[in-house]
Amino acid sequence: MIPRRAFLAAMAASALTPRLSWADAGSPAFLAFAKEPDGQHALFGIDVMGHDVFRVPMPGRGHAGAAHPVAPEAVGFARRPGTFARVIDCANGRVLTELHSPEGRHFMGHGSFLQGGDILATLENDYISTRGKIGLWSRSQGYKRVGEIETHGVGPHEALQMADGTLVVANGGIQTDPRVEDGRGKLNLPTMQPSLAYITPEGELLEQVFLDPDLHLNSIRHLAMTGDGLVGFAMQWQGDTMDGVPLLGLHRRGWAEAKLAEAPLGEQLAMNGYAGSVALSGDGRYFGITSPRGGRLHIFDHGANFVAVHRRPDICGLAAGPEGFLATDGLGGVWHATAEEFQPFTRAERAWDNHVVTL
């Protein structure tokens, strides 16, 4: 938990700092990592039509980024089980600082800014206790680690902050250890128990939702949310891909259980049991999930009804666009998607990585 005094000092400091804004980085609308033809990795800022605004080279493959709400700062996380994150000044490409996870921890590839941007929250695996943690870092104190809270689950992957300050966390449920199979080995599949946890910024558990026992292999990984607190969570099935289980769940605080969304059986099976990203459409009406393994974008409404499918090999990155969604793929394509249409914006010689972050 963040000591109250440190927190107040941080807030005061951030209010006083006149700094650059995203306009100084060319006003990108989205951030995404990519691998380039020569094997180099880079973070790109792109505009609403998918055109490059800036490019910052990266030392290795990233997973997702956290974008500061005001300042042109992005935090790029190493892929799981990476132990460092890099804070980049997107206006000039400079590395402002590096974050290192504490001993016995590694980052999970996602993080987000809280409290208007002064606190960076990082999802972490405490592989000694096997408990999920959120690390809290103060931007105004040079990204000093100022506290940490429990996620009340194993393998937390992503967290979002709701309008009232509550954090909603996707606890993937899968126990991993960087000392075993490079951290990608799954150590507890028979007993895994993913959950969606609502916690206070101080780490107190407010509410927790679990899946039916026969869906316990459905790892809850990624999140999107409407302004009024309807949470969409995307899942990755650890069982047989021919089980055709739902891969998107919807939940609102107070609901006894999540509403699961699935396409007609044939189309559901084609997702291959895997959703890589989830996003809310720009107009807030739909949730989309992508499956690079099935080469599909599925769109659902708030009632968990299937609305549309768009097909594109290796599609994965997904974010809210001005209208509908913006999607990226491993062949270098950036796409405009709505319930009705699917059109390419741009294509470049690079492989877009798993996620797109909306600014």
Q: Measured between alpha carbons, how far is 191 from 159 in angstroms, rounded to an integer?
A: 23
Residue 122 binding other proteins, by CB under 8 A: no
How long is the chain?
359
A 10 A CB-CB count for 73 gives 25
**Rule CB under 8 A: is residue 185 a binding residue for other proteins?**
no
Two tokens, residue 336: 């405009």
Nearer to other proteins, 90 or 123 (CB): 123
Minimum distance of other proteins from residue 116's CB (angstroms):
29
Smallest separation, CB 294 to other proteins (Å): 8
- What track of x and - describes contact with other proteins for positions 298 through 337 (by CB under 8 A)? -------------x-xxxx------------xxxxx----
**Which of 82, 1, 67, 81 has its CA nearest to residue 29?**
67
Cβ-based nearer residue to other proteins, 131 or 221: 221
- Count CA atoms within 13 Å of residue 34 on its CB side: 28
* Range in contact with other proteins (rule: CB under 8 A) among 15-23, 129-137, 252-260, 288-296: 288-296
Which of positions 202-261 make contact with other proteins (CB under 8 A)? 221, 236, 240, 242-243
| 343 near other proteins (CB under 8 A) | yes
Number of alpha carbons in the 13 Å side-chain half-sphere of residue 127: 26
Q: Between residues 55 and 293, which has the closer beta carbon with respect to other proteins?
A: 293
272, 293 in Cβ contact below 8 A?
yes
Which pairing describes strands 277-280 and 286-291: parallel, antiparallel, or unpaired? antiparallel
| By the rule CB under 8 A, 357 interacts with other proteins | no
- Cα–Cα dist 263/305, whole Å: 8
Q: Does 270 bind other proteins (CB under 8 A)?
A: yes
Under 8 Å CB-to-CB from 351, ≥6 apart: which residues?
Answer: 34, 35, 314, 330, 331, 332
Nearest-approach distance from CB 144 to other proteins, in angstroms = 22
Question: Among 29, 36, 28, 76, which Cα is nearest to 330's?
Answer: 36
Per CB under 8 A, the segment of 1-9, 129-137, 138-146, 347-355 that binds other proteins is 347-355
Provide the sign of the torsion angle of the four alpha carbons 12, 15, 21, 22, taken in this order.
positive
> Collapsing DSSP states into helix, strand and coil, what is residue 317?
strand
> Taking Cα atoms as reference points, which of 44, 125, 47, 75 lies closest to residue 353?
44
**How many of the chain's residues bind other proteins (CB under 8 A)?**
53
Q: Given candidates 16, 163, 256, 265, which one binds other proteins under the rule CB under 8 A?
A: 265
CB of 329 to other proteins, least distance (A): 7
Q: Residue 60 interacts with other proteins (CB under 8 A)?
A: yes
User: Interface with other proteins by CB under 8 A: which range of 43-51, 132-140, 268-276, 300-308?
Assistant: 268-276
Phi/psi at 168 (5° precision): -110, 130
Alpha-carbon span 45 to 54, nearest angstrom = 5
x-marked contacts with other proteins along 21-40 as a string, rule CB under 8 A: --------------xxx-x-
H helix count then E strand count, the chain: 2, 28
Residue with smaller CB distance to other proteins, 230 or 263: 263
Q: Which residues bind other proteins (CB under 8 A)?
A: 35-37, 39, 59-61, 63, 78-80, 82-84, 109, 157, 182, 221, 236, 240, 242-243, 264-267, 269-270, 274, 276, 292-293, 295, 311, 313-316, 329-333, 342-344, 347, 349-354
